[in-house]
Structure 1
Amino acid sequence: MRPIARDIPKHDFLYDAIKSAISSFRQRTGVNPIPQIGEALGIRGAIQPQLWRLFDLYSDRFLRADELVLICEVLGPDSQIILDSLCRELGFSCVAEMLAPSSLSFESQLLTLSALVGSLSSDYLQAISDDDFSLKELKNHQKILRSLRGQLTIYEAEINDALRSRLES
């Protein structure tokens, strides 16, 4: 079945990003966003199977642009994962205009960034030990990179805010 004008063509990278954003939301808030997404999309009945059908490359159901916007609205800051994925695919980068301030000190944020870089290095060394990146290793590497990018973006925004406030005073 061919998509109509308002449908988004099916792409693995987009569906993986949406699923990753849903998982990130769940980890960040401790709340499963599936019911909220289902409600926003007007899905009735068993929400999760119908929602996953939207993200199935072989389903005849296409995700529409307005549905993607609604999903991003429900996921809030975690929708950055989706937007980053879309931008990367198109050769752009996406930075949130207004990031939620972190409750962590600069020192704690730097330690978190260092830990993520260490995790990335460890993951890389493990992956090349057999001279080949497996699909699982590549996906894990990608997950760590997303976390690192998000933490780095928040840290940079807070440094910029601190600079701005010092320059203004």
Structure 2
Amino acid sequence: MEASGFLAKMQIDCSNDVPAPTVAAAYEQWVVPVLKRRLDANEISLGTIEHYHIAWKKHIEPRWADVYVTDVKPAAVQDWYDSMTRSQAEMARIPFRLIFDECGTHEVCSTEVAYRRYRMPGTSAQRDKGIWTLDELCSIWKSLRGSYMERWFILAAFGGRASANLWVS
């Protein structure tokens, strides 16, 4: 973390050689300190910062880290959002916008690319909820009977509130 922060600072400090910082440099040099100040001022929770950092590591960094902020184009941002689920895109959008907010504050580039009205991915098709029927559960239980896992299976499969209704009715 210290090395990447140092690199980010050097990229920004040496901006005469580079037209603008990379997205990673802007994040490390500008966004992270702002989030720390907001945390210290009790304006934001540690959990929120952790969510932003997860979105950074999982979605923003792999796609945008080495891209100069001035080279981020709306079509590429839309493609990026389209590659995620709706919840991932909505979570990644927040720190992505924070990066461009700071770029705008430092007059490096416009914030417009982060604030366009992008199409967010739709909610996904109905997924298998992983809920087994009573017959399926009984079949699994039969195969586990006598094993060390039987008691754990019984608790997991039949110990919940919803399954309690099966035994009452």
* Rg comparison, structure with higher value: 2
Choose between structure 1 and 2 for higher RCO, CA contacts under 8 A separated by at least 6 residues: 1
The TM-score, its normalising length taken from structure 1, stands at 0.25
